[in-house]
């Protein structure tokens, strides 16, 4: 059984079942470090509808124990907005969900990528029922200690156009398409 097949057995939500867990299978559609378009803001196609089952699955996978995050009945009575709370780092799952081969953010699914740091700024809490769009811009590409880094600036806006979250994600990537190929086909 491959790792992607093993991950698929753990899927509990519709989005998890639809998500392509096999990053090795789609590596050729990833934008690479060397060819990532820089400073060209773009709205990724589609939207992410925040459903309660997505939030619960994510919060439970994190090991969250606060009932505001994992108990829908408790949250309906005590949470602001009356729904389970969305963990601030849920934005990472949204970015991966919205990324498709060939779009400017596809490098986040590059086989061999490593995540050294992120910075998340919550402007307004994401809530169950929000319909989010992702505005993405590759904002920096640099070499540090001999390793190629790329940083994306990502903004999530809801159905009203309200900026919910702004974050910067940085990855260390294989530098060229040939390096990605060697990793993906090893």
Confidence of residue 41 (pLDDT cuts 50, 70, 90): very high
By mean pLDDT, which of 15-24, 59-68, 141-150 is the weakest? Answer: 15-24
The answer to whether 86 and 50 have CB atoms below 8 angstroms apart is yes
- How far apart (Å, rounded) are the C-alpha atoms in residues 53 and 15? 9
Confidence (pLDDT) at 125: 94
- How far apart (Å, rounded) are the C-alpha atoms in residues 71 and 24? 36
Model pLDDT for residues 92-113, shown as the tens digit of each residue: 899 888 887 777 777 888 888 8
Asked whether residue 168 carries a pLDDT value surpassing 90, the answer given is: yes
- CA angle at 94 for the pair 93 and 95, rounded to the nearest 5°: 90
By mean pLDDT, which of 19-23, 89-93, 116-120 is the weakest? Answer: 19-23
- How far apart (Å, rounded) are the C-alpha atoms in residues 61 and 137? 29
pTM of the model: 0.86
Asked whether residue 3 carries a pLDDT value surpassing 80, the answer given is: no
Confidence (pLDDT) at 24: 75
Report which of residues 165 and 175 the model is more confident about. Answer: 165
Q: Where does residue 168 rank: exposed (0-12), middle (13-18), buried (19+ CB within 10 A)?
A: middle
How many Cβ atoms from other residues are within 10 Å of residue 20's Cβ? Answer: 12
The answer to whether 139 and 39 have CB atoms below 8 angstroms apart is yes
Q: Who contacts 138 (Cβ-Cβ below 8 Å, separation ≥6)?
A: 36, 37, 38, 39, 40, 104, 105, 107, 150, 151, 152, 153
Confidence (pLDDT) at 19: 78
Asked whether residue 21 carries a pLDDT value surpassing 80, the answer given is: no
Nearest Cα to Cα of residue 138 among 45, 39, 43? 39
Asked whether residue 179 carries a pLDDT value surpassing 80, the answer given is: yes
The answer to whether 143 and 151 have CB atoms below 8 angstroms apart is no
40-50+88-184: what fold? Thiol Ester Dehydrase; Chain A (3.10.129)
Q: Who contacts 141 (Cβ-Cβ below 8 Å, separation ≥6)?
A: 33, 36, 38, 148, 149, 150, 151
Confidence (pLDDT) at 142: 95
Share of the chain above pLDDT 70, in %: 99
């Amino acid at each position: 059984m491959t790792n992607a097949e093993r991950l698929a057995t753990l899927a509990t939500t519709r989005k998890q079942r639809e998500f392509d867990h096999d990053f090795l299978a789609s590596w050729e559609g990833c934008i690479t470090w060397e060819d990532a378009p820089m400073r060209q803001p773009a709205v990724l196609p589609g939207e992410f509808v925040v459903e309660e089952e997505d939030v619960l699955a994510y919060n439970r996978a994190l090991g969250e124990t606060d009932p505001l995050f994992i108990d829908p009945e408790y949250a309906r009575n005590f949470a602001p907005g009356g729904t389970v709370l969305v963990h601030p780092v849920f934005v990472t799952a949204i970015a991966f969900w919205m990324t498709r081969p060939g779009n400017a953010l596809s490098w986040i699914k590059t086989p061999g990528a490593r995540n050294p740091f992120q910075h998340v700024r919550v402007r307004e809490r994401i809530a169950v029922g929000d319909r989010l769009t992702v505005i993405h811009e590759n904002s920096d590409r640099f070499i540090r200690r001999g390793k190629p880094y790329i940083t994306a600036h990502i903004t999530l806006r809801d159905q009203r156009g309200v900026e919910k979250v702004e974050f910067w994600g940085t990855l260390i990537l294989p530098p060229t398409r040939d390096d990605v190929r060697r990793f993906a086909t090893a």
